[in-house]
Structure formats: structure tokens, C-alpha cells
Structure 1
């Protein structure tokens, strides 16, 4: 009976997973350094050391590959922020400061992550708009949960404020990514905290 193993002792499924991870690694660097629009499938395949045919066994196109990278970045960031908030004192102010500090610190630890999450995903076009909006909604939900107990804020208004604050945070990170002289991270964090605390006055 055929085992489905090649000369390296990998099953077909393992080979596919390996190629997929190599493509993700190649795209993570290329999308961030030369940009999504300038990165061709041929360039990605050369960096990942696979054939063009193998590319389409893993992803339907560059947009699908960008989606996978973006969603991985978002998931990792959400986990980091949720952990920081969970370990913070229970008052809303402390939770917000912990969450913002964790978000800004984590996404900027690797410049590629910051660029992909806040710039290149937009350049990927309308095909990724729904994925970006789901990510915005997930971060807004964390804000809403962190501010549970703030008086005089009905849920509908809280949701809109949370969405607006996510947008403000994204613009701060876009400035960080694009600026010739990026602002210090502590200034980004202080500014974000100022915006959030002034919005809710606590």
C-alpha cells in the first residue's frame, strides 16, 4: 500500500503545510519591505523556493496570501492585548492603559507586522475589506469589554466610540510606519492613552 511519503519522509499533507509556511514567511517580509503591489507571485515563489504551480496549491492568489498573514497578525495581537488586560488591575483606566501599551509594543516589535496590519492590508484592495472590518470589530469589542461599568454610556454609543478609538489608534500606527522620523513609542502610547481617557473621562 502506498504511504504517500516522498524521499524526505514527508506526507503530501506535510509537504503542503511546509510550502504554505514558506510562502507565509516570504510574503511577510516582501509585503512589508517592498509592498503588496510590488510583490509578484514569481518573487514569492523564488523566495520560498517553490514552483508557481505549488503556489496555487496553497493559495488562490496574492490577496489570499495577504489575508492569511493579516489574520495571523491580528490573532496574535488580540491574544497579547487580551492577556495584558486580564493581568491589569480591574478598573477601566488601568485596563485601557495595559491594553494600549501591549498593542503598540507588540505590533511594533517587528516592523513588518506594523506595516502589514496598518498599511499593506489596505493596499491589497477591496477583497480584504471585510477581513479588515472584522479585525476592527474584534478590537472594538475588547475596548467595550474593558470599559464595562463606565456609567452613562448605552451599548450603542459605547460601540461607536470604541470603533472611533480603534480608528484613531490605527492612524497613529500609520504615522509611525510612514514617518521619515517615527515618533517614539512612548509618545504613541501616551497619545493613545490621552485620547481614550479623555473620551471616557476616568
Structure 2
């Protein structure tokens, strides 16, 4: 049951959720544009149209907000990839190719997401190290679960090979984010699929 008096038709819980969402939206744009280190709490509050005091009712600090933004980007990306794989033909190669293609397309559809996931996460340093590792493990697990019985690669080394695939895709996307003239997404996908085929000999 909701507690707290209503204010303009919103309960205390609803007002808190609304403020959090506005801060997440503001941070998504500012952290990916101005950058995490250059974005102040005052600027976040101005963009979200809330007071500094209200900020601390939602998050403990900029670092806490950055973790929330990053985790949301990861969760949305994992869901998109899982859906694409589920809808692909059942053979391992098709499923992995579908996952690679969807990840690159989904992440680059909004350059803010691409910058948060592959640029600002590194610039943020230690505050996101554990969260980044969990994200890497999540994508590595998806690859391993869908490899099936592919003959290539190194026996017993599927985790390391999957980790290498994740790293290769990350580097391709970092280059895409930083490029003065971004290469076509088709080229990124083709390169990532080529790496996959050479890695697993398919």
C-alpha cells in the first residue's frame, strides 16, 4: 500500500520514482555527451529539474547514478540479444551471428548507449569495474550457452574464446564511437562475424 500524502496526484513513492527516472534520463545524455567526470550534480539536477537535496533522496552520488545508467544499458542490451537469438534458426552459427548483429545494431541505434557502454564505462574507472565485469560475464555466458557442439576452437577453453569474442566486439565499437567518420555498421558486423568464424573454425 502506498504511503505518504498525495501531491499533485502523486504519492511519495511515485514522486521518488519520477525523480529517479528524470535523473537517469538526464545522466544518460550528460554522461554520454559532456562525460561522467565533467558532469556535476548541479548540472544533473538542473537538467532533471529537481533540487540538489532531492538528488540525494534518489542516489548517494554521481557514482551511484552512473552505475544505475550503465546497468540499465547492459540489461536492455542483454534482453535485445537474447530475443534475437531466440528468434534465430536453431543451429549455433546462426544463433551467434544473430546475437552479434543485434548487439551491434541495438547499441549503435542510440550513440548515447554506445558511448556509455564502451567509452564512459572505462573513463569512470574503478567505480564501474565490478559492474563492467558482470556485464562481460553476462555476454560471455550467452555466447557459451549458444555455441553448441561447434568443432573449432580449443577444447575446454570455451570461456576464454567467448571472452575474446566479447573483447573484440567491444574494441570494434570503441573505434566506431571515436571515429571521425564512423564505418558502416555492416562492416562492423562482418568483421565481428569473421572473427567468430575464425575463432571457432566454422
Separation of aligned partners in 1, 2:23 and 2:198: 43
Deviations along 1:50-93, one digit per CA (max 9) or x if unpaired, are 01111111111111111111111111111110111111111121
Give the 5 Å matches for 1:43-58: 43-58=43-58
- Cα offset for 1:124? 1.3
Distance across 2 between alignment mates of 1:78 and 1:185 = 19
Q: Is residue 2:26 matched to residue 1:26?
A: yes
Shift in Å, 1:5: 2.3
Deviation at 1:139, TM superposition (A): 0.1
Q: Which 5+ residue runs of structure 2 have no aligned equivalent?
A: none
Matched, 1:10 2:10: yes
> What is the CA–CA distance in structure 1 between the aligned matches of 2:89 and 2:201, rounded to whole Å?
18
Aligned to 1:83: 83
TM-score of the aligned structures, taking structure 1 as reference length: 0.95
Deviation per residue, 1:12-41 (Å, 9 max, x gap): 111110000000000000011111111100
Deviation per residue, 1:134-175 (Å, 9 max, x gap): 000000000001102123767740001111110110000000
Alignment match, 2:102? 102
Structure 1 CA distance, aligned partners of 2:168 and 2:191?
10
Partner Cα separation in structure 2 for residue 7 and residue 135 of structure 1: 38
Q: Does 1:157 align with 2:168?
A: no
Q: How many residues align?
A: 200
- Normalization by structure 2: what TM-score? 0.95
* Distance in 2 of aligned mates of 1:65 and 1:7: 25
Gapped runs of 5+ residues in structure 1?
Answer: none
RMSD: 1.3
Give me the whole-angstrom Cα distance separating, in 1, the residues matched to 2:34 and 2:155. 42
Contact 2:121/2:128, CA 8 A, preserved across alignment:
yes
